[in-house]
Structure 1
Amino acid sequence: MTYTYHNPTVIEFGKNKIESITNYIPKDSKVLFVFGGGSIKKNGVYEQVIKALEGYDFLEFSGVEPNPTVETMNKAVKLVKEENIDFVLAVGGGSVVDGCKYLVAAALYEGDAWDFLDGSAQPKEALPLGVVLTLPATGSESNSGTVVSRKETNEKRYFFSPFIFPKFAVLDPSVMSSLDDRQLANGLVDAFVHTCEQYITCPNDSLLHDGYSETILKGLVSLAKDWDKRDTYNWQENLMLLANQALNGFIGSGVAQDWATHMIGHELTAFYGLDHGRSLAVVQPQLLRVMFEDKKEKLLQMGQKVFNINDAQETIEKIEELYHSLGVSTNLNDYGIDNKVVSNVTSALEKHGMTAIGENQNITLDKVEEILNLAAK
C-alpha cells in the first residue's frame, strides 16, 4: 500500500446540528443558500437554515435538479459573480452538493467551467462551500469529487479537485423523515455500490481496508433486512453514516478501484434520466457476471464475510436479491429504455475515452455491450 489520504471536511453529526453552521461561516460572509425543488420547506430544514443565517447577508438559489446540470448551475454562477458571493451553502442531497461543487469552482474561473468536466482544465481555486445534507447516498458531502450533466449534449461527467472539499458537512438524520421509499432505496443502493467499487477488485493484504468495507456492506445488508424500520431514527442514522463512510475516500486509499459500473451507469442517466441508484443496480450484477474471472476471489470473500455463504456466483445472486428487496429492479426493460441503449452508451463511452475501464482496464466496449444485453434480459 502506498497512498496519501487527506480529508479536511468537518462532520457535524446528529440532531439539531444545523445551528452549528455559524461556527464555520464567517459573520462578514455574503452567503448563497442553494437548494433543490423545495422539499426542505416541508421538513423543517429551510426554517432551521434561515434561523441559523440570521444576521448574515445571504441570497437564495433554488431549483437544482436531480443529476444537476451546467445549464442550471451556470445561472447560479452568474448570480455569484454579480452579487460578489463569497460563501456557498448547499442544502440538499448529493445532486445539490455536486452542483455546488461545480459552482464554487466555476465562480472563480474566467472560461467555460465545462472545461473541468471534459478534462481540459483543472480548478486552481474555489469559493468555500458548506453542506447541510438531507439525503444520504453519494458521500459527496465529504469528498473531492463532483458529477454534473449537460442536457444539451446528453453528457454526465465528473471531476476531482482538492479545492472543492466542503469546509463542513452537517449530517442530521432527523431531516430524513420526509424522504420517500424510492429516495431511501436509491441511497442504500448507491452506498452499497460505492463500497463494492473499491472492494470487489483484486485481493489485497490490507486487513483494515477490506475489513472496513465489509463492515459497511454488512451494515447496509442489515438495513435492507430491516427495511420495515426505515421510518425510525436509528435506521436513518445508520444509513446516513454508512453512506458517508462508503465514499469519503478512505476505503479506496492504496487499493485497486473499479468504477466501471458508475461509468456505464452515468451514460444511462445522461441518455434516459434513469435514477443514479437504479442505473447502478441494473449494471452491477451483470458486470460482475461478465467479469467473473477477474472478480471471483473477492466475490468469494464477500460471500463469506458479508452474506455467510461460500460461493462466488451465489454472491452475485445475493447482491441482486438485496436490490430487489428494496423494490429496485435490475432489469433495464423495467425502465422504458429503447433499443438504442447499447449504441448510445458505447458510443458515449468511446467519445469520452472510456474504452478500457475497470480495475484492470479490460472492460472494453464489447464487454459493455455484453453487460447491457444481459441487463435487458
Structure 2
Amino acid sequence: MNNFEFKNPTKIIFGKDTIKNLEQEIPKDAKVLLLYGGGSIKKNGIYDQVKKALKDVHVVEFGGIPANPEYAKLMEALNVIKDENITYLLAVGGGSVIDGTKFLSAAALYKGDTPWNILSDNIKTEKGMPFGTVLTLPATGSEMNSGAVITREETKEKLAMGGPGLFPVFSILDPQVVSTIPERQLANGLTDAFTHVLEQYMTYPIGALLQDRFAESIMQTLIEVAPKVMKDPTDYKATSNFMWSCTMALNGLIQKGVPTDWAVHAIGHELTALYGIDHARTLAIIAPSHYKFNFEAKKEKLAQYAERVWNITEGSQEDKAHAAIAKTEAFFHELGIDTKLSDYTKDYKDTAETIYKRFKDRGWNGLGEHQSLTPENVKEIVEMAY
C-alpha cells in the first residue's frame, strides 16, 4: 500500500427529514446565496423545506444552473455574490449544482485576472467561501469531496478543479428525495457512482486489501440495489443504500494508498463538451473500450473484480478478465445506458481526431495509473468506442 494522508472535514447529516437541520448548520448572521438548477426543487417540496429552515437567515436566490455547470452562467452568480456581499453559499441540487457552487466558492476569493484561470491553470484552492449542500440527486459524490468539473460552452471545454478549501462544510443527505428523480437520472447516478469506483480500483494489485474490499463492497451494493431503485424509487431501504454508496464512491476514502486511473473521466468529459452527452453515459461509452485497450496492464485486477464482484470463478485469468468487461457493459445496458458513441450522435467519425488534438495541445501525455497513455492511445480508445 502507498503512503497517504486523509482528511475529510465535511459533516454528513444523513436520513429522513434532515433538511430541517439547515437551521442549526448555517450561521444566523450569514448572507446566503441559495443555488439550484432548473427548478425541480420547487415541484418536489425540497425548496419549501429549505426556505422554512432558513426563515431567520438573509437569503438571496440564484437558479438555473444547468446539468453541466456552465462558466458563463456561474459568472452571473459570481456578480450576485459581489453585489449582495454574500458570505455563505448553499447548493441545493445534484453534482452539477454542487460543482458550480465549488467554483463560486473558489472564484469569490480569487485574486487573479480571470476566474477561468482556476480551471485552465489547474490552480488548487486552499481557501474558499464556506458552503453547504442539500443533495437532491445521488451520483457524483461532490457532496463529500473537494473536486468539481466546469463546462465552458463557448470553447467546448470541460475542465476539472479542486483543492483542500473546497470541501463542503456540511451536506444533508435525505434519501427520500430520490422518490421524485426521473428514471434517466437514476440510471445516470448508478452508472456514475459505479464508474467512480472502477476508476480507483481497476488498476493493478498493490496489496491494499481493505481498500480493494471497500471498493468491491460499494460496487456489490450498487448492483444489488439498482433494480430496486429503478423499479421503485420510494423504496427507502434501497435508496438509502444507493445514496450512501454514491457518496462513499468518491469521498476520497477508497483512493487512499492505491493507484488510480481517471482516464475514462478525462476522455468522457470531452464527449460531454463536444456533444452534450450526459456525463455518466460518456463513462459507459469509454470504460469498456478503455479496459479492452489496456487489457494486459489491467487483467490481474479485472480477474479479481470478476471473481469478487460478479462471482465468475471458472476459466483462466484472461477468461475471467474478459468476462468482467462484458458483465460491466451488460450492467450498463440493464440500466438502459447505451455504450457506443454512435448510439448518441451521427457526427462521431471525427471525434477521436478532435480529442487527440485537444490532448496533444494541452500536453496530456501521461494518462492512466501508469501515466503512460498518450494522445495517440486515447485516439485508439475513442475509435474503439464508436
Q: Common fold, TM-score beyond 0.5?
A: yes
Amino acid at match of 1:42: K
Equivalent position amino acid for 2:263 in 1: A
How many equivalent residue pairs?
376
- Any gaps of 5 or more consecutive residues in structure 2? 314-319
Contact 2:31 / 2:88 at 8 angstroms: preserved in 1? yes
Do 2:126 and 2:164's aligned partners in 1 also have CA atoms closer than 8 Å?
A: no
Please say if 1:214 is aligned against 2:216: yes
Alignment partners' CA distance in 2, 1:337 and 1:194: 28
TM-score by length of 2: 0.95
String of CA shifts for 1:156-205, please: whole Å, max 9, x gaps: 00112111100000000101111111100000000001000000101021
Once residues 144 and 118 of structure 1 are traced to their aligned partners in structure 2, the CA distance between those partners, rounded to angstroms, is 17
Relative to structure 1, the CA distance from residue 90 to residue 337 in structure 2 (aligned partners, 3 Å threshold; closer, same or farther) is farther
**What is the aligned partner in structure 2 of residue 70 from structure 1?**
71
Equivalent residue for 1:348? 358
Residues in 2 aligned to 1:2 and 1:136: alpha-carbon distance in whole angstroms: 30
2:150 to 148, 151, 155: 148
- Secondary structure at the counterpart of residue 34 of structure 2: strand
Give runs of aligned pairs for residues 55-66 of structure 1, distance below 5 A: 55-66=56-67
| Aligned residue runs from structure 1 range 170-181, under 5 A | 170-181=172-183
Q: Would you say the 8 A contact 2:178–2:233 is kept in 1?
A: no
Distance between the aligned counterparts of 1:122 and 1:249, measured in 2?
A: 16
CA distance in 2 between partners of 1:305 and 1:217 (Å): 10
Matches within 5 A, 1:174-189: 174-189=176-191
| Mapped partners of 1:115, 1:30: distance in 2 | 27
Aligned-partner Cα distance in 2 for 1:231–1:186: 17
Counterpart code for 1:148: I
- Between the two proteins, what is the percent identity of the paired residues? 46
Residues 1:335 and 2:331 are matched in the alignment: no
Partner AA of 1:194 in structure 2: H
Q: Which residue of 2 aligns with 1:54?
A: 55
Residues 356-371 of structure 1: matches in 2 within 5 Å?
356-371=366-381
On the 8 A contact 1:18/1:172 being kept in 2, the answer is yes
Alignment-derived partner of residue 317 in structure 2: none
Aligned residues of 1:272 and 1:337 also touching (Cα < 8 A): no
- 1:337 offset after TM fit, Å? 4.5
Return the offset for 1:262: 0.1
1:162-311 aligned at under 5 Å gives the runs: 162-226=164-228, 227-310=230-313, 311=320
Q: CA deviation at 1:70?
A: 1.1
* CA–CA separation in structure 2 for the residues paired with 1:345 and 1:239: 33
Q: Secondary structure at the match of 1:357?
A: coil
TM-score (norm 1): 0.97
Q: Deviations over 1:291-311 (max 9, x none)?
A: 000100000000000000031
Matched residue type, 2:292: R
Task: Please list the CA deviations of residues 81-127 of structure 1 after superposition, one character each: whole Å capped at 9, or x if unmatched.
Answer: 11100000000000000000000110112331111101264434211
What is the DSSP-based 3-state SS (H/G/I as helix, E as strand, rest coil) of the residue aligned with 1:132? strand
The whole-number CA distance in structure 1 between the counterparts of 2:238 and 2:350 is 40
Amino acid corresponding to residue 126 of structure 1 in structure 2: G
Maintained 8 Å contact 1:107/1:126: yes
For 1:159 and 1:340, the matched residues in 2 are separated by: 28
Distance in 2 (CA, whole Å) between partners of 1:224 and 1:257 is 25
Q: Which moved more, 1:281-290 or 1:330-339?
A: 330-339
Q: What are structure 1's unaligned runs of at least 5 residues?
A: none
